[in-house]
Each structure stands twice: as C-alpha cells, then as structure tokens.
Amino acid sequence: MATQHSRSAARLMMAPAVVLLLGWMLVPLSMTLWFSFRKFLPLRGGDQGFVGFDNYVRFISSSSFWPAVQTTLVIVLGVLIITIVFGVLLAMLLDQPIWGQGIVRILIIAPFFVMPTVSALVWKNIFMDPVNGLLAHLWRAFGADPVVWLTDVPVYSIVMILSWQWLPFATLILLTAIQSLDGEQLEASEMDGAGFLSRFIYIILPHLSRAITIVILIQTIFLLSIFAEIFVTTGGAFGTRTLTYLIFQRVLESQNVGLGSAGGVYAIILANIVAIFLMRIVGKNLDA
Amino acid sequence: MGRIVLEKVKKSFSEVTVIPPLDLEIEDGEFVVFVGPSGCGKSTLLRLIAGLEDVTDGTIRIDGNDATSIPPAKRGLAMVFQSYALYPHMSVRKNIAFPLKMAKMDQAEINRRVENAASVLNLTDYLDRRPGQLSGGQRQRVAIGRAIVREPAAFLFDEPLSNLDAALRVGMRMEISELHKKLDTTMIYVTHDQVEAMTMADKIVVLRAGNIEQVGSPLELYREPRNLFVAGFIGSPKMNLIEGAEAAKHGAHTIGIRPEHIDVVEAAGEGVWSGVVGVSEHLGSDTFFHIHETGLAETITVRADGEVSLKHGDTIHLKPRADVIHRFDAEGLRQS
Amino acid sequence: MARAVTKQRKTLNTLVAWAVGLLIFFPILWTILTSFKTEAQAINDPPLFLFFDWTLENYGVVQERSDYMRFLWNSIILAGGSTLLGILVAVPAAWSMAFVPSKRTKDILLWMLSTKMLPAVGVLYPIYLLFIELGLLDSRVGLTIVLMLINLPIIVWMLYTYFREIPGEILEAARMDGASLREEILYVLTPMAIPGIASTILLNFILAWNEAFWTLNLTAAKAAPLTAFIASYSSPEGLFYAKLSAASTMAIAPILILGWFSQKQLVRGLTFGAVK
C-alpha cells in the first residue's frame, strides 16, 4: 500500500485542507491575542496602545463576569442533566420492540434539525408568550396564573428550549450505543439472576458510559457557544447573559475590542479544556 | 514466462527489519509455497514481489529484467487476495474484465476472454451477479478469474483459502492445483497452513522471522528437515522431539521421531519406550495417542491403527523405527 | 438486544413511545398547523387544533412582505456552496489519511478536529475586521468560505471514517490489475464511497443551513440566509403568529426532510466516528 510514490501523492492531496485550516486557526487567533493586550475602541479613539494584562483583569473583575459564568454553568449543566437522563430513558424505550419504531424515531429526532433561530422564536412567542402562548392557555385551563416565562424564569426557559433541541442528539447517540450492546450479555446476566435494576446498573449503564461521556463533551462544546437562542429570546437581558453573549456584547455592541478579545481568550481556554478530554476519547478510538 | 529471482532483498519498516537480506529463485512454471507462522514475513515477501511495498534494499528480477522499481501494474503479475478484494459495485463480468479494460484491450477480445475464464471456472451462470450475491467459493473463483484473464507471468496468492470453511478449502485446493497443471504458469502461494503447503507445492519455502529456514520439495522437507523449526512445522501431528539421555544414545542433542514412525508393541524390551495413555483421538482410519510418563518428554504422540483399542490410563509400549530418527545438534541443526 | 416480549408489553411500550414522540414533535406540528390559520384563529382561546378554516394566505404574505425567496436562495447558495467546496478540499485529504496513513495522520486529524472546537466568539472581531478590510461583509462569497472552513473538519472526518471501511486490498487489487492512481480513484474508490460521500454532503448541508452565529453576525441584507430572516421576526408587530409560523415552516421544512434521510449518518458525523 505504502510505496514512495503513493506517499508523496498523499502529502500533495492533503495540503489544501491543512493549509486552509491552519490559516483559519492561526490568523484570527493571533489577532485576538494581539487585541487582547491593547486598549482598542474602534468608535472611541481606535487603538490606544499596549495595556498589558489590563483587559484580562478588567474582564474578570467586571460586575457582569461572575453572573455570566453562573448563567453559563446553569445552562450547560441544566441541559446536560435533562438531555442525558431523558436521553437514556428514551433510548432504552426505543430499543424495545414497538410498532412504528421508524416513525417514532423520526418524530423524536426532528427538533435537532430545526434552525436555532426558529426554535427560539417559536418557543418565545407561540409557546411562552404570557398572553397568547399555548402554555399560558394551558395554565389558564387549569385555573393557574400564566407564567411570564422569559421574564420571571428566563434562564430555565432557555434551558428548556435548549433541552428540546438537544434531547434528540443525546437520544440518537445513546440509542446507537445501546443497540450495540450484546444481547447475549443481557441474557447471561438474566440467567445469573440479575433483576431489571441491577441489569441497568451493572450492564447497561457501564456499556453506555463511553457514549454518555461523548454526549457530555460534544454538547458542552456546543452549549458553551450558544448564541442565537439568547440573541432571539432575551437579547441577554434578565440575567441570561452567558459568557459567549457577554463577549459578543463587548465586541460588537459596546465596541470594546480589547476587552472582548481578552474574554475571547478566556473562552478559547475554557473550550480547549473540554476539547482535550474529547480528543483523548476520539483519539483512542482511532487506534481501534 | 515467469522466472522470478530475488537478490539480497531486504525490507524494513522504519527501524524494524522484517526481512533481512534474502536470496531466492523461482523457476518458470513452478508452484512455490511460502509457509510459516503468522508474522514470519511471508505476506510481506509476496507484496514485495507484487510491488505493493517498496524494497528497502536488493533487486527483484522478473524474467531477467530488473523489476525493483516498476509499479505493480506494470510487472505483469496477478494477485489473488485473502479477502478476494472483488469490486463490490461491479458485476462478476465487469470484475473479471477490469484488468483487461485497464489494459485498453478491445471489447471483443475482452468478452472472449471473460467468457472463456468463466467457463473454465464454472462462473458462466453468475456473470451478471454482484459479488455480494455469491458464496465464498464462488467469490474465490471470481478472484481467480480476474487473475487468469490477464495471462500474467506469475500468479500471487495471499492466503486465498483462509476465509473458506474446511470442506470448501479442500475442494479449492484441488482446483488451484488443477489450474496450475492446466496453465503451467508460475504460482507463488502464501499460507500458514502446512497441509496446504505439502499438498500443493512443487517447492516449499519455510520462513521464520523473515529468514528462509529451508527450501525444498514437500518430501525433502518431510524427510530431511534442516533444523528443529522445520522439523516441528512440517508434518501433522507434530514430530516428537526428545532431549537428554535418550538423544545422547543417538549421539545428538535432540532427536525427532514422527508419530507415524513409532510402532505400538506388546511388551517392554530393549529400545522400547513405555508410558501411560492420555487423550486418544480417534479418526477412524488412524488413532493418535498422547502418551505421558515416558520419561522422555512431556508427551509423546503416536499414530496407531484405527482399530487399536487402548483406554485412558492404560500402559503402552512403543518402539521407534530406528532408520527414521532425525538427529539435531545443540544449535538445532540437522546432523547428517 | 431486541428480545422476544409479550404482546401486552409491546403494546404498552408502543403507547408510551408514541406519546413521548408526539410530545417532542408537538412544537413543530403546532407551528405547521398555526401557519395555516388566520391570525385571529392563531391566538384563539381555547387553542384550535385541527378544526379551523385552513388557509394558505400567510405563505403569500410572508413571501410578499419580506421576500422569502431571496433568503431561501441565499441559504441554498451558502449551504450548498460551502458543502461542495468542503468536499472538494476534503476528499483528497481524507483519501490520503485513510489509505496512506503515516505516523502523523492521527495528530493531523485530531488537530483538524480541534479547530472545530474554537469558540466562534473568540475570533469574532478579527473575522469581522478581516471581512471589512476585504470587502466581504454581507457577501455570499465570504460567508460561504467561513461556513466551509468551520465544517471542513467534520467533512474530512466523516469521509475519513467512511473511506477507512473500504478495504485497502481492493485498492491494491486495482493497482495489480493495472489501474493508475487516477483510475483507481475514479473507477474503484469513488463508486464504493458514494453512500458515504452522499451522507457527508447531506449532514454538512444541514449544519451549514442551520448555522446561526456567523450568518447573523456577518450579514446585513444582501447575503442574509433564512436564519437571519427568521431572526428579523423577533420584534413582534401586532398579530403575527400565523405569519411567523408560516415563515418558520418554510425555513425548516426542506431541512427536516433532508434530516430524516440522514439520521443514521448523523451519529457518526457528530461524534467524529466515536459512536457508530
């Protein structure tokens, strides 16, 4: 397979992809790093020179930083818990023999294909609107006062919207994993006298652990950078400003590029910590 | 024509030398089998000849021409792979025709040759099927068909029968031997199965760790294994190897005696070994006894007539035939 | 793992599964239904489920008022263009990695993946600035390139995992049969990899279609795709549920249909082959 000739052909064919991605990574990254050490306000005096770690300190010590971290954590953890718990349950349900399995699968996977701006808008208006929203109708039907979702419980509302979007992803991956579980293993454990609960704890859950880890890592990376859902629903108001949104506001809304870039570097570091774990798993899989 | 000569051929993967410099001559029309345990470099050697791997050092000559740096397509060799490597998206007809199409042969000639190969291989009824619709044996035949239409200088077989079940394997073995007689073309065949090697080869090349241990006809290897490795590898069940005092009696470090060269006798006596019967394998025509507590080796295997009835735990007396005892020195080399 | 169960058990499972499925699908179903109502019916109390006067009026209004077709066209160009461009760059790369692997192949693959993890917001301003400097802001060309670059790692990865399933021996057989590298790729590899290439195209088309960070931040009017079109509905103007629903339905319908075809490949694509 590998002769001199084929190796040099391979290098040549790989070059365009490598060069493009290298450029895409290095150019903006070095610019962000550069800006993060400068006082740079495009609309108020432009580039005002080198300020050392000033932006980094200011970003962390700003009054919006810790609330943003908290919001980010609540959203990421909330969605992860909901999607994984329900994802495991749904995957186990769908793994059972049922009539019309294909159609149920399609119904459950559908939200994943809905574009983020659509799902945010539909939830915000048609479901969560305190006057005309469907949930308000439902509350009134039971004689309760409608909840003003995006004002009173804005973070939880966003968690709910995101969970709806990401549950299909978790379910689909966990279902794929569960289907690869060897049926004989379960039967053997049944012969050994294991009840449903112990089968779940000792056989199914360990088998799913890898898939669950992957779901956690991938969702974390995506959830850390969610944007459209907040942009459309609250615009960052009512304590729904995540780290990503805070940086976006610093850069584009208040045009403080230096400060925003410092925030960007933090975000990159954070994402990389998660990414390293994901890479380990994926890399291990490569050898197999 | 298909005379293939390897001169000081060497192969290393980065730091690891898989095949130390090696010389080998394969005559035109010969059926040569490379045999050895897995990882002995036999497949690598075949791939070097095919041109699928670069030679690190040395020269490969095909019919006298230096082929060392010629790409595989231009060497005029055909190869049958372990997985058959059929093109799943093409019909049997197109699979067999593919090398001819690559050679830009005209369509009428392609058709003629494909039909011809199909009738030789009993594939005529399957020409329009896809490989996925065929049985293992049929796929194997398609792979062979794809090789023979090119009329190559030599055929290379890389463990072609290892994916077939035992019964089919025996059948295909015959077919390939038959084909060799008919075509009279050089064939190089790689296998880890010494039975395949013994039954098919004109010449066997026994390999271990990239080294050629012995080259010779099947019977030469059987009768005069050059060292302990070949002695243990060729023949089934394995040759009994005995060290110590018994070997010293014959003036050797180790002596070897094949299970079929030991007779079961009634009583103990001079030159007779005694032991206790362990497991017996009844094959019907023959019975193999595994004998313990002989004081010679852990186990001595003996072939006896199928009718001999001895039970587990019985005492047995054995007499080796003196003229077929193989003697080896401390380095494991044959003493003549 | 599918084991024999009693009929009652299967019926119960089926009922629960369908109930959950419909509940999850309900928001989409409701949106589609609402798109066929009049604005008054859309906010009727109690809500009307199926028994209302079905009308197509909203679709007409949406197109007329906001030129839906232009956004749709932009979405198609951006998603299609970036995917095809990505495939052109990725196919040779994936081929090399799958069939002529070297010691560095694994590192290169993981590095490519790591660029995908780069949070977009971290490089928002540099890209924004570069786009202004290069005159690419609000242009389809610029956005196509960005979408291509953010999806390129996934495309390379998916193709790589598909190519790796094609046994190397088949390519070697082609080589022994006298095929040149070009013929080997054209006659043997491509036909065998078609299903994999098709699913890669499908999934990446979907991802590009739904991308909602760069498409919102780098476009204004000219190059804005459907994501931006929908976002423009976020400021309510009177009775607009039915029209919002109609616009939403039009934005998600094409991709829902494509998505259903690609659900099997989705797992592999989104987990980089780690779950199959």
Rounded to whole angstroms, how far apart are CA atoms B82 and B103? 24
Residues B144 and B254 in one domain: no
Based on the domain organization, do B120 and B24 belong to the same domain? yes
* B102 with C167: Cβ contact below 8 A: no
Residue B333 belongs to a domain: no
- Whether B291 is covered by a domain: the verdict is yes
Q: Are A265 and A32 in contact (CB under 8 A)?
A: yes
Tell me which of A189-203, B41-55, B198-212, C229-243 is least confident.
Answer: C229-243
CB C119 to CB A181 under 8 A? Answer: no
Chains touching C (3+ CB pairs < 8 Å): A, B
The answer to whether B51 contacts chain A (CB < 8 Å) is: yes
Closest CA–CA distance from residue B53 to any residue of chain A (Å): 5
Distance from CA of A254 to the nearest CA of B (A): 57
Q: State yes or no: pLDDT of B186 exceeds 90.
A: yes
Q: Is the pLDDT of residue B203 over 90?
A: yes
H or E segment and range at residue C273? none
Q: Phi, psi at residue B292, to the nearest 5°?
A: -115, 175
Name the band, by pLDDT with cuts 50, 70 and 90, for residue B225: very high
The CATH number that applies at residue A147 is 1.10.3720.10
Delimit the domains of chain C by residue range: 7-59, 67-270
Q: CATH number of the domain at B140, please.
A: 3.40.50.300
Q: Best of C75, C99, C117 to disrupt the A interface by mutation (most A CBs within 10 Å)?
A: C117
CATH number of C67-270: 1.10.3720.10
Q: Which of B217, B232, B247 is the last residue of a domain?
A: B232
Closest residue on chain B to C176 (Cα):
B73
Other Cβ atoms less than 10 A from the Cβ of B259: the count is 20
The per-residue b/e assignment along A31-65, b for 16 or more CB within 10 angstroms, e otherwise, is bbbebbbbbbbeeeeeeeeebeebbbebbeeeebb
Complex ipTM value: 0.80
Q: Does B85 touch chain A (CB under 8 A)?
A: no
Measured between CB atoms, does B64 come within 8 Å of chain A? no
Domain count, chain A: 1
Q: CB atoms < 10 A from the CB of B166, how many?
A: 7
Residues of C in contact with B83 (CB under 8 A): 167, 169-170
Residue with tokens 């190869």: B79
Indicate if B160 and B290 belong to the same structural domain.
no
Are B213 and B320 found together in one domain? no
User: Which amino acid is located at B179 in the chain?
Assistant: L
What is the domain range of residue A117? 65-240
pLDDT tens by residue, A140-168 = 878 777 777 777 778 888 899 999 999 98
Residue B75, pLDDT score: 87
Q: What is the mean pLDDT of residues B8-17?
A: 84
Whether B47 and B9 map to the same domain: the answer is yes
Residues B144 and B287 in one domain: no
pLDDT the model gives residue B95: 92
Which amino acid would we find at residue C142?
A: G
Q: How many CB pairs under 8 A join A and B?
A: 11
Residue ending a domain, choose from B189, B208, B232? B232
Contact A15, C108 (CB under 8 A): no
Helix (H, G, I), strand (E, B) or coil at B221: helix
| Closest partner CB to B71 (pick from A1, A2, A5) | A5
Q: Which residues of B touch A4 (CB under 8 A)?
A: 54
Does some domain include residue B335?
A: no
Chain A environment of B52 (Cβ under 8 Å): 1, 3
Interface contact A5, partner B, CB < 8 A: yes
Are C243 and C230 contacting, i.e. CB atoms less than 8 angstroms apart?
no
Tokens for A164, please give them.
């709806």
Instruction: Look at residue A12 and tell me if it is in a domain.
Output: no
* Chain C hits for A225, Cβ within 8 Å: 119-121, 213
**Count of the separate structural domains present in chain B:** 2
Q: Which of C169, C187, C188 sits opposite B81 (nearest CB)?
A: C169
Residue given tokens 């026994």 in the structure block: B206
pLDDT in tens, B274-302: 889 999 888 888 899 999 888 888 889 99
Average pLDDT over residues A257-285: 80
Considering the domain architecture, whether residues B79 and B188 belong to the same structural domain is answered as yes
* B20 and B160 belong to one structural domain: yes
CB contacts, 8 Å: A2 with chain B: 53-54
Nearest CA in chain B to C181: B73
**Is B39 in the same domain as B132?**
yes
Instruction: List CB contacts (< 8 A) between B74 and chain C.
Output: 178
pLDDT of residue A281: 73
Cβ contact C179–B81 (<8 Å): no
* CB contact (8 A) between residue B85 and residue C177: no
Question: Using CA atoms, how far apart are residues B147 and B77, in angstroms rounded to an integer?
Answer: 8
The residue that leads in pLDDT, B46 or A4, is B46
pLDDT tens per residue across span C37-91 = 777 677 766 777 777 777 777 787 777 777 778 888 888 999 999 999 999 899 8
- What is the rounded average pLDDT of the residues A198-209? 81
Cβ B53–A2 below 8 Å, yes or no?
A: yes
Chains touching B (3+ CB pairs < 8 Å):
A, C
pLDDT digits (tens, 9 = 90+) for C81-139: 999 999 989 988 988 888 888 878 888 888 887 787 778 887 888 888 888 888 878 88
Q: Mean pLDDT for chain B?
A: 89
Number of Cβ within 10 Å of residue C268's Cβ equals: 22
Nearest to C179 among B52, B89, B102 (CB): B102
B324 lies in which domain range? 237-328
Determine which of A34-38, A39-43, C150-154, C189-193 has the lowest per-residue pLDDT on average: A39-43
Cα distance between residue A169 and residue A171, in whole Å: 5
Separation between Cα atoms, residue C10 and residue C4, nearest integer Å:
9
Query: How do residues A98-156 score in pLDDT, each as one tens digit?
Result: 888 888 888 888 888 888 888 888 888 888 877 777 787 777 878 777 777 777 778 88
Domain boundary pick from B215, B232, B249:
B232
B218 lies in the same domain as B70 = yes
Do residues C230 and C251 lie in contact, with contact meaning Cβ atoms separated by under 8 Å?
yes
Flag whether A247 is in a domain. Answer: no
- pLDDT category at B137 given cuts 50, 70, 90 is confident
Beta strands B57-62; B31-35: pairing state? unpaired
Question: Within a domain: residue A114?
Answer: yes
B53/B170 same-domain check: yes
The answer to whether residue A34 is domain-embedded is: no
Question: Is A3 within 8 Å of chain B by CB?
Answer: yes
Residues B175 and B272 in one domain: no
* Band of residue B20 on the pLDDT scale cut at 50, 70, 90: confident
pLDDT tens digit sequence for C174-207? 988 888 878 888 888 888 888 888 888 888 888 8
Q: Does A237 touch chain C (CB under 8 A)?
A: no
| Interface size between B and C, measured as CB pairs under 8 A | 61
Are C131 and C65 a contacting pair, CB within 8 Å?
Answer: no
Tell me which residue in A21, A132, A176 faces C267 most closely, judged by beta carbons.
A176
Asked, for residue B334, whether it belongs to a domain, the answer is no
Check if the beta carbon of residue B239 is closer than 8 Å to that of residue B251. Answer: no
> Tell me: the pLDDT tens digits for C233-253?
766 554 578 888 888 888 888
Q: Which of residues 40-69 of A touch C (CB under 8 A)?
A: none
Chain C residue with CA closest to B52: the answer is C172
